[in-house]
Chains A and B, each alone.
Chain A
Amino acid sequence: MIDDKMLLSVSKPIQYTGGELGMVKKDIHSVDMRFAFCFPDNYEVGMSHLGMKILYHLLNERADTYCERVFAPWPDMEEKMRERGEPLFSIETKSPVRDFDIVGFTLMYEMCYSNVVNMLDLSGMPMLASERGEGDPFVCAGGACAYNGEPLSDFIDFFILGEGEEILNEVMDVYADWKAKKQERKTFLERIAELEGIYVPSFYDVEYNEDGTIKSFTKNNVHAKDRIRKRIITDFDNSYFPESIIVPFGEAVHDRVTLEIFRGCIRGCRFCQAGYVYRPVREKSAKKLVDLAEKLMKATGYEEISLCSLSTSDYRELNELTEGLLTEIEKQKVNLSLPSLRIDNFSLDLMHKVQTVRKSGITFAPEAGTQRLRDVIKKGVTEADLIRSVSMVFSGGWTNLKLYFMIGLPTETEDDVRGIGALAHKVLDAYYAQPKEERHGSPRISVSASTFVPKPFTPFQWEAQDDLDTILQKQKAARSAIRSRQISFSWHESKVTILEGAFARGDRRLGKVLLAAHKHGCKFDGWDEYFNFEGWMQAFADCGIDIAFYNNRKRSFNEILPWDHIDVGVTKAFLQKECELAYKGIVTPNCREQCTGCGASCFGGGVCFER
């Protein structure tokens, strides 16, 4: 058991103790099924995750199920646990994870895979799906990275594709019946493999060509589907959302009421995986959201509400929503935060009303330095748009701007990279273009450049990722184009993106690498202080796998991709067409301007059927 002796000797013990406001309590003997919701990062990050909040309460609404939370213990705690032989435990009842019926991981990004493996190891159950037998829990995974979960397929019994609210209850129903009938382990997997949205990797065989590409991907079980289509909620307005959520005692990264205003994105920027895998766009009505906000504030006492979506300005009822919320926040004395707003008169007025943006400054994401490249990636923003927006922001009294760019985009040249600096200078010029007496303070422009990683289910899924040297050169070139001390330049650690790239588009052979990396102590890769690049490189070398095969190789359009058997609605043919248009610098309309026939209308809902 986790006792005071352990808790007193670790940092932030509050992350292990539970008992927070809103935590669900049940008697473990009074339920038929126990679900361990595992978040492969620490408590602070996990408790910020919206999906976990929804699914935790959704599962706990069932009288027959108790869903408990599990987080990755911080390395100081892990050391104590290993010393004393304490297995990975749940927050609610401190039960060993291996005692649960279903152990579910949410995969929010690729750099959490080593934590998934480490958590399985810490739980004491067999790490590999093939080694788990009768009496062992089933291990499943969902979330953004599950759309290509192949690198984890050695460890995971089944993947859940798409939105958990839509499918989890069906899985639990099958489990309850399977358990009551005392059927074999394999039977459960066969039964859920017949559900739309469930992918059981062991029911498929992969053959490879001599050059390492995939030769064939075939099912080996009659219950398995040829292609697995993701599940989505079509009626998002009436979808489940808890009216009370857990309020952490300790700090969480995002510690507030989060209102998800819509799912999906109409924009379809060609580099953005979320913009394709979450299609089609489905909104919640302003009325529902205001009502929900009121209930959640009453239940939690949170002092801040934040809107959540991929692009706030595309919400059709933004006016009604903010009006409703402003009345409410006035009454309750809470703050409203409005991320990813496009700048126009309406949004500036709104920002003045809510005031919270003054703290952090205003962010713009031109993503690329030249118009040519912005057209390639379909970032529908022109230089004139940007200058108009920043001028409005400057005259509105803000002086602190952030500009986000990516380096390593397809077709990028040195001109494009230097264009990042040039554009930052034009933004600065816009400040000085104001009459002297109207300028506020002194301007600070922070330019931040991340490294582009090609992702599955995007028009750039076939692209080669730049190697480390090229990225470093490009970062240098972008930097050298900045000559003002009022512009700062920062970039992201590109070594992490090499691994992110490999696992994003990886196949099953990377399972070996994950195991080897685990042996070299890799974990918490998203945390600079724990990221162990040498360990990872050693792991690839141990397995004789060339990381460049995954990262730096341009795929042909006819290659069988490791995720081809997954159907997210958007078709491969559409992605190929978008890729070809990208090379020509042709921008296609967004979902509300004109349907481009991506395939997402197959779900029968959302923006595809708006009049």
Chain B
Amino acid sequence: MLSLDRVTKVYKVGTFGGKDMVAVRDVSFDINPGEVVSLIGESGSGKTTVGKMILKLIDISGGSISLDGLDVASIHGAGVKRYYRHVQGVFQDPFSSYNPIFKADRVLSLIRSEYFADMARSEWNAKVEAALRAVTLDPDQVLNKFPHQLSGGQLQRLLVARALLLELKILVADEIISMLDASTRIDVLNMLAELKSRGMGILFITHDLSLGNYISEKTVILRRGVVVEMGATDKVFANPTHPYTRMLVSSVPQLHKKWVQIEAELPAPIAGRGGCLFHEMYPLAGRTPEPAADEPTLAKIEEDHFVGCFDLPSEKASLVA
């Protein structure tokens, strides 16, 4: 199990890094084995930053990430290689993930030279074939080909197959299907759903709510680095409570339901409260947000459903933990 506990990332910006920019603040959630967690947010909401911190590509500024009890930030030296045996990532652009000069299956042979140097060739080939079959690729079609000879969906699945060669526990899938066609993206999505039945935990980072809704058990909605709503996917989508979530859900283009039938207006915030980044963006007309105490903390409104907002309906607010 991978747990994030009040994870924060502060980037130094400005001349000589004189200013702080908080990219992610106090994000806490768990990814259990066999579970897909979708991390949804707009651009700049810090969703990729969370993924990069899990993959140890950038340092964590505050809080902690732990894999099965082991603090990820404390891993150094040879431990990093061991960590990557269990945690791997796949990124958005399949074409820039490959070196165009080498054949695409080089990503697989690099795994062999790093991790399985003394494995017999026949055993290795069987392992590769099993991994390719798991991602519904035909080995004859993809092995010994250059990246430009393969389609985006094939390349993306090949990267997942590469991750499968290791004893993978967590896969960070950062917008892996947003560059694919409608006809192939659903295949990649179904493949991810198959993988979770093998006991893998998947962090599915996306800006597309319908995709997140389709495969995930748990949804985390991030806005400007802060979790505004999280919980079981069916509960978050059936009963979106934070005004931002409601706006997101109403903006998703749907078939059979025109936008004009759905209101996308943001509700006016209650005066006299500050500190919430969301309400600072949408203050009441003519009112400057008062610099007040704290961000709203996540409150439990029902089993497995948490919302970070002051304006919770009163009958639900009584449940605030």
Q: Do A and B come from one complex?
A: no
Residues of B within 8 A of A (CB): none
Residues of A within 8 A of B (CB): none
